[in-house]
Structure 1
Amino acid sequence: MNNRRDRFAEEIFSPELEAFAFCAMVDAVRKAQGRDDPAAFEAGTPQRAQAEIELIRDTLRMIGIEPDENQRT
């Protein structure tokens, strides 16, 4: 008899679906923390650039990479 854990272990999700789910998770966490959404700012503005940098740093943290403030990561 297959239990629930075995059934999910056999399922394969497309990379696109996994990427979409990850992006949705990052967006949800950022929204819950009150962080700015880059899309809320006009393209080319310093505010949008800063929000994009923060989004990239938050994404790196969620995959286990701690951005160093002294470097460009």
Structure 2
Amino acid sequence: MKTIKHPYYDYTLADALKLAKGIKYGVLTKPSDPEPDIPEAIDLVKKTFRLSTFNWITGRVALELLRAANGEDVKFTP
């Protein structure tokens, strides 16, 4: 896995994948639960972000990193 770090926040691709894993499996995530792949992680975080009723900065930052890792052209926002 590539090491990608957000230029404005202390957040990495590994953190974004852990967030997606937590969304997928819930708060009782087991170490043996596999991490989702990047396209699935994008889908999980995007759906959760869309359903949130507040400005979820962590979700936005995670999406930016996941999309960059997926080869998409991303404009990182502060």
- Point out the structure with max Rg over C-alpha: 1
Q: TM-score, normalised by structure 1?
A: 0.31
TM-score, normalised to structure 2, is 0.29
| Structure with more of its chain in helix, by fraction | 1
